[in-house]
Chain A
Amino acid sequence: MTQQAPDEQTHFGFKQVNTTEKAGMVADVFHSVAAKYDVMNDFMSLGIHRLWKRFTIDCSGVRAGHKVLDLAGGTGDLAGKFARIVGPTGKVVLSDINDSMLQVGRDKLRDKGIVGNIETVQANAECLPFPDNYFDLITIAFGLRNVTDKQKALQSMFRVLKPGGRLLVLEFSKPENDNFAKLYDWYSFNILPKMGQLVANDAESYQYLAESIRMHPDQETLKGMMETAGYEQVTYHNLTGGIVALHRGFKF
């Protein structure tokens, strides 16, 4: 494992920060929004995030008996569905670096009666605490852009994925149409922080959300990063005009 130099810089939204500080700063954002996370997601996306997640599940090819890792799983939207699909013979690991998010997710799943085949693990995507070739499917939805070293995280996921398994990355991306992109920018930087202030009493976290989306690699760049990490047959599918893209890659 490579050690990060303490003076190495990375982005936190539009700000440049020390790599060693980013994880803590992201953690602070999510500690702050955890309780209102689901409400805000519905409010900001008008519920469309549920359809994006459904699309991810439809593309997963997951079936009874499979082992699934839901990284940056947050409040467990994907993990809950996967737990039902893999059934009692399968296993789902809901993982997040942030314990506040994990706590909300665990409580939500328990309240829905989803227990038995689901485990929660607090882990950093850059150094996953799982054996090699272990999971049939790994998903990371709206999480990769918050990871400090994305390439390292993709490699770590590749290591724990079984040959024949697939990685699905659902993440904000670059809108295909320029006019739509301008409208989306206006919404992100003018409306989103105000919504955050109104609902979650936290405009700053939602300002970070908008900035982190702009700093995240676009569709083609992320595809290249996945190929560099070793994934094959990497494809992506734009959703809602490219606001979000689902990248899919296989390990053979």
Chain B
Amino acid sequence: MPAEQLLTSSIEGALNKLLSLDDTAPERMAKLVDKKIIISLSELSFDLGFQFHESITVMALVRDESVIESCDCKISTDLSTLVELRDISLLTKLIKEDKLALQGDIQAAQQFANLLKELNVDWEEQLAKSTGDVIAHNAFRAANWVKSSVEQLFSTGKQVIKDGAIEEKRVAAPQILVDDFVESVFDTHAQCDNLEARIKKLEANQ
């Protein structure tokens, strides 16, 4: 089975479905119509081509330097950096660190990032379409309760483990002692530097 096409087909299906659930997406998509962006990920042996019209077409393209001629923007990076790109302000930093290479229209890349970043899907409303309002509302209320309970549980658990390790088992030092120790190390370091300087001075005088 052509695995590359299975991947692009899944990405295309997921993107277009998500965009169709967001009423504000067409407005953001309009800026990208007839543009083509290529994403070259170091983890993949092929490039991903994104062609924008009223929906998005995703293609698996043979990795080729000449491909830049046929697209508006080419982004070369790896998967972890791509995730960081959600924050557009990091763009310059990532380029300077050689984690990201951009060729072509940088604005197209930013518009694509914004299209995905600003996705606003009302999942409760989507569920309500198939289950009805009451079930959807209760399901989301229950899910939110579970989420906050789990978060609370984690937070409490973390505090319990921290207190146990510091106060009861004494396997970790309290923050105030750590700070004091760090300060002492700095002082000792400074004193050593002074001593070294004095020794060097005495040696020079002899």
**A-B complex is real:** yes
Cα distance A150–B34 in the bound complex, in angstroms: 37
Cα distance A54–B53 in the bound complex, in angstroms: 17
The A41-96 residues at the B interface (CB cut-off 8 A) are: 48, 50-52, 54-55, 57-58, 63-64, 81, 84-85, 87-88
Within 8 Å of chain B (Cβ to Cβ): is A179?
A: no
What are the residues of chain B within 8 A of A52 when measuring CB–CB? 2, 5
Query: From residue A46, how far is it (CB to closest CB) to chain B in Å?
Result: 10
Q: Are B34 and A64 in contact (CB under 8 A)?
A: yes
Q: Are A48 and B51 in contact (CB under 8 A)?
A: no
Q: Are B5 and A51 in contact (CB under 8 A)?
A: yes
The B21-56 residues at the A interface (CB cut-off 8 A) are: 34, 36, 51, 53-55
Q: Which chain A residue lies CB-closest to B57? A: A84
Within 8 Å of chain A (Cβ to Cβ): is B116?
A: no
- Total interface residues on B, CB under 8 Å, equals 18
Given A48, A51, A87, which contacts B34 in the complex, CB threshold below 8 Å? Answer: A87
Q: Are B34 and A54 in contact (CB under 8 A)?
A: no
Within 8 Å of chain A (Cβ to Cβ): is B15?
A: no
Q: Are B59 and A58 in contact (CB under 8 A)?
A: yes
Q: Is the interface of A mostly helix, strand, loop or mixed?
A: helix
Cα distance A184–B2 in the bound complex, in angstroms: 18
Cα distance A128–B20 in the bound complex, in angstroms: 40
Given B6, B36, B57, B60, which contacts A81 in the complex, CB threshold below 8 Å? Answer: B57
What are the residues of chain B within 8 A of A48 when measuring CB–CB? 1
- Total interface residues on A, CB under 8 Å, equals 18
Given B55, B61, B70, which contacts A58 in the complex, CB threshold below 8 Å? Answer: B61
What are the residues of chain A within 8 A of B51 when measuring CB–CB? 84-85
What are the residues of chain B within 8 A of A63 when measuring CB–CB? 36, 70
What are the residues of chain B within 8 A of A88 when measuring CB–CB? 34
Within 8 Å of chain B (Cβ to Cβ): is A240?
A: yes
Within 8 Å of chain A (Cβ to Cβ): is B9?
A: yes
Within 8 Å of chain A (Cβ to Cβ): is B81?
A: no
Q: Are A55 and B57 in contact (CB under 8 A)?
A: no
Cα distance A186–B35 in the bound complex, in angstroms: 47
Within 8 Å of chain A (Cβ to Cβ): is B8?
A: yes
Question: Taking A58-B61, A63-B70 as contacts, is the C-beta distance between A50 and B53 under 8 angstroms?
Answer: no
Query: From residue A50, how far is it (CB to closest CB) to chain B in Å?
Result: 7
Q: Are A85 and B34 in contact (CB under 8 A)?
A: no
Cα distance A55–B8 in the bound complex, in angstroms: 10
Cα distance A88–B61 in the bound complex, in angstroms: 22
Chain A 98-113 interface 0/1 with B at a Cβ cutoff of 8 Å (1 = within):
0000000000000001
Within 8 Å of chain B (Cβ to Cβ): is A35?
A: no
Given B4, B53, B70, which contacts A87 in the complex, CB threshold below 8 Å? Answer: B53
Cα distance A113–B8 in the bound complex, in angstroms: 22
Q: Are B1 and A58 in contact (CB under 8 A)?
A: no
Query: From residue B138, how far is it (CB to closest CB) to chain A in Å?
Result: 36
Residues of A within 8 A of B (CB): 48, 50-52, 54-55, 57-58, 63-64, 81, 84-85, 87-88, 113, 239-240
Q: List 11 A-B contacts (CB under 8 A).
A: A50-B9, A51-B6, A51-B9, A54-B8, A54-B60, A58-B61, A63-B70, A87-B34, A88-B34, A113-B54, A239-B2
The 8 closest A-B pairs by CB, nearest first: A54-B5, A51-B5, A84-B53, A63-B70, A51-B2, A55-B2, A58-B60, A58-B59
